[in-house]
């Protein structure tokens, strides 16, 4: 796939790595790149830190691309970094956010799977780790977190798309992310993970029908976030807890981050609702990213105002 990086197109991993370097070079005062680990196939896991040096400020951690075939998700993380650097000093809200917060952005969580979805199988979902005693490849990284990890028997087969792995955090990718978040826990006030598709804004829990202590706050934020999103193109999102809105899931990053103590954790299921599914045309990337920015900026503003 020749050509250079474009925010209006899907970019393969090679282009995304080059883009991270370009962003650091172009905005050294605002963007730094941290390698938080590497994948099963030894690809680097990069987090871009957006904001000023001060580590003690409130921070938001965002990850994209945990499921390989959900390509619009990494496209959003790239768009977010682009907008943050482009509109700082021009857009009042973004300037205020970046003057007082940091954003940690993991553009592609499941790098090996993402590469595989570009080179071998567009429909691939899991990572690319080998499973002992099985010919089936891969673990679903979003079932590999230590959050009621083994509570559902249907995640225990390496040949299934939602295989949870041999143990919680068994995957190098998962461990790199959990170690980074644990070591920055004092500053991280929000965890947001981006998936597709279905047009939903979800919050804990997935592994239980129990309501999180601050579920009213989460529901209010999700409601206003979906309303903010729809102001752009009237795209309708639904919102709610994972368990009540879609179905019970164990081992998810969202529940793990919440139980770790990050009181505001959300999962976006980006466009669309099934007409294209995972194959959202590139011509819809920009509008999907623009409307999602409105929801993310609302969440960040809310946290700035309502957390100590």
Partner 1 sequence: ITPARFDREKVFRVKLQDEKQANIIKDLAKTNELDFWYPDDPHHITANMTVDFRVSEKETQSIQSALDQNEMHYEILIHDLQEEVEKQFDVKED
Residue ranges that bind partner 1, judged by CB under 8 A: 2-4, 6, 8-10, 71, 119-123, 125, 140, 152, 154-155, 160-162, 197-198, 246-249, 274-283, 285
Give min distance, CB of 240 to partner 1, in A. Answer: 15
- Minimum CB distance to partner 1 smaller for 35 or for 119: 119
Estimate the share of the chain in helix, then strand, then coil, as percent rounded to the nearest 5: 40, 20, 40
> How far does Cα 253 stand from its chain's mean position?
9
Residues 199, 235 contacting (CB under 8 angstroms): yes
Q: What is the DSSP string of 31-96?
A: EEEEEEEE-TT--EEEEEEES-S-TTSEEEEEEE-SSTT-THHHHHHHHHHHHHHHHTTTSHHHHH
Catalogue the active-site residues.
269
Beta bridge partners of 193: 63, 267
- C-alpha to C-alpha distance for 254 and 17, rounded to whole angstroms: 26
- Minimum CB distance to partner 1 smaller for 133 or for 283: 283
Work out the burial of residue 308: count CB atoms within 10 Å of its CB; fewer than 13 is exposed, 13-18 middle, 19 or more buried: exposed
- Minimum CB distance to partner 1 smaller for 26 or for 186: 26
Beta bridge partners of 102: 59
Q: Among 184, 214, 226, which Cα is nearest to 307's? A: 214
- C-alpha to C-alpha distance for 134 and 124, rounded to whole angstroms: 18
Give min distance, CB of 58 to partner 1, in A. Answer: 32
| Cβ neighbours for 244, distance < 8 A, ≥ 6 positions apart | 209
- Minimum CB distance to partner 1 smaller for 10 or for 46: 10
């Amino acid at each position: 796939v020749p050509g250079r990086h474009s925010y209006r197109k899907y970019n393969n991993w090679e282009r995304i790595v080059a883009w991270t370097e370009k962003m650091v070079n172009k905005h050294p005062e605002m963007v730094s790149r941290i390698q938080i680990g590497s994948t099963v196939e030894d690809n680097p896991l990069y987090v871009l830190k957006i904001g000023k040096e001060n580590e003690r400020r409130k921070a938001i951690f965002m990850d994209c691309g945990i499921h390989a075939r959900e390509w619009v998700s990494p496209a959003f993380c790239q768009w977010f970094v682009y907008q943050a650097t482009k509109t700082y000093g021009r857009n009042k809200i973004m300037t205020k956010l970046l003057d007082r917060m940091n954003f940690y952005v993991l553009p592609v969580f499941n790098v090996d799977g993402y590469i595989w979805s570009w080179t071998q199988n567009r429909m691939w979902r899991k990572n690319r780790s080998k499973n002992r005693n099985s010919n089936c490849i891969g673990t679903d990284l979003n079932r590999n977190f230590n959050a009621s990890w083994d509570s559902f028997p249907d995640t225990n087969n390496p040949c299934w798309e939602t295989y949870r792995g041999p143990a919680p955090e068994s995957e190098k990718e998962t461990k790199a992310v959990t170690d980074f978040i644990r070591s920055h826990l004092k500053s991280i006030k929000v965890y947001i993970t981006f998936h597709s598709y279905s047009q939903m804004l979800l919050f804990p829990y997935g592994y239980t029908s129990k309501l999180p202590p601050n579920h009213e706050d989460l529901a209010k934020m999700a409601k206003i976030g979906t309303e903010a999103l729809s102001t752009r193109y009237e795209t309708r999102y639904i919102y709610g807890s994972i368990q009540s809105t879609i179905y019970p899931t164990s081992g998810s990053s969202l529940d793990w981050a919440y139980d770790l103590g990050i009181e505001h954790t959300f999962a976006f299921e980006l466009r669309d609702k099934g007409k294209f599914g995972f194959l959202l045309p590139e011509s819809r990337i920009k509008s999907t990213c623009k409307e999602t920015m409105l929801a993310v900026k609302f969440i960040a503003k809310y946290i700035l105002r309502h957390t100590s």
